[in-house]
Structure 1
Amino acid sequence: MKKLYIKQKVLSMGGRFNVKDEQGQDVYLVEGSFMRIPKTFIIRNTKGEEVASITKKTFSFLPTFFVNAGGREVLMIKKRFSFLKARYTIDTAGIEVRGNWWDMNFEVFQNGEIAGAVGKEWFTWGDSYQVQIEKGEMETILIALVVAIDCVKADQAAASSVSVP
């Protein structure tokens, strides 16, 4: 089992932050696009190689995000139509999220076996998450999933804070 920590900076213009291991060493760098369409996040390893990307679909009625890892699309996060509460679905082949993913406290399963777990760390400056990895081959997908869900939540918060006169 391996643990990684994602700590986002509060005042980062484009969404640039590091993913660290238990010893505090950088493992991944996440770079978000700033004022660019489509909104994207690129996840790079310590050698600077792209290992995953998250892209927001530009023209869609409801927000949709695509996560690519290893040169292929591995999952899609899509907002469902709802009047009272924001509802999202995660479409994948063999990957299932169980728990309260909106509050960032959930487990990820691959083909019925636990691949990892995510927990939000409270009372921190900026968003901080602990990612526990049970299946090493799912590491980049788990990091990409956390970044994508956090982006969905940030977009939702921005949309709900806009008031119409």
Structure 2
Amino acid sequence: MKQLFIKQKVFSLSEKFTVKDEQERNQYFVEGSFFKIPKTFSILNTENQEIGMITKKTFSFLPTFFVEVDGRESVTIKKEFTFFKPRYAIEAEGIDVQGNWWEMSFDILRHGTVIGSVSKQWLSWGDTYQVDILDETMEHLIISLVVAIDCVKADQSSSASAGG
């Protein structure tokens, strides 16, 4: 099992953050497009190679996010039409997310087997998520999916604050 930590800076306008290992060594870098349309987030490894890309669909009635892993579209996250609590559907071949992903406490399953889990670290400055990778062959997918879920949450909260 491999443990990684996604740590975001609290007042970062550049939309950049890192994914570190247990020894605080950089493993991945996440860079957002600040004023670009469509909104994207690139996930780069330590050799500066892109392993993941999250893109928000520009013109759609309900927000939709596309997640590419290693150059292939792997996951789609779509907001579902509801009147009360926001709900999103994750569409991916054999991939399921179980738990409370609004609180960043969930398991990632592939064909019914847990391949990773995420938990929020509560006593930290900024948002820090612990990502336990149980199937290291799925590491790029797991990291990309966790970053995408965080993007969806950030988009939802910015929409809520702009609308209310």
So what's the TM-score if we normalise by structure 1? 0.96
Greater Cα shift, 1-10 or 152-161 = 152-161
Verify: 1:27 aligned to 2:27, yes or no: yes
Aligned match of 1:65: 65
Instruction: State the distance in 1 between where 2:7 and 2:22 align.
Output: 13
Aligned match of 2:122: 122
Note closer, same or farther for the CA distance 1:110–1:160 as it changes in structure 2 (3 Å cut).
same
Aligned match of 1:42: 42
CA contact (8 A) 2:56 2:63 kept: yes
Query: Residue 102 of structure 2: SS of its match in structure 1?
Result: helix
Instruction: State the distance in 1 between where 2:87 and 2:134 align.
Output: 27
Deviations 1:92-114 (A, max 9, x none): 00111111112110001111211
Instruction: State the distance in 2 between where 1:64 and 1:135 align.
Output: 27
Note closer, same or farther for the CA distance 1:41–1:163 as it changes in structure 2 (3 Å cut).
closer
% same residue: 57
CA contact (8 A) 2:63 2:79 kept: yes
After TM superposition, where is structure 1 displaced by more than 4 Å over at least 4 residues in a row?
A: none
Verify: 1:54 aligned to 2:60, yes or no: no
CA contact (8 A) 2:7 2:127 kept: yes
Alpha carbon RMSD of aligned pairs, Å? 1.1
Query: Could you tell me which amino acid in structure 2 is paired with residue 116 of structure 1?
Result: G
Q: 5+ unaligned residues in a row in structure 2: which ranges?
A: none
Aligned match of 1:137: 137
Report deviation, 1:123: 3.2
Deviations 1:100-157 (A, max 9, x none): 1121100011112110000011132221100000001111111111111111111111
Matched pairs, number: 164
Instruction: State the distance in 2 between where 1:32 and 1:73 align.
Output: 18
Instruction: State the distance in 2 between where 1:48 and 1:5 align.
Output: 19
Instruction: State the distance in 1 between where 2:37 and 2:114 align.
Output: 35
CA contact (8 A) 2:70 2:140 kept: no
Aligned match of 1:76: 76
Structure-to-structure mapping, 1:79-94, within 5 angstroms:
79-94=79-94
Report deviation, 1:163: 4.4
Instruction: State the distance in 2 between where 1:60 and 1:163 align.
Output: 17
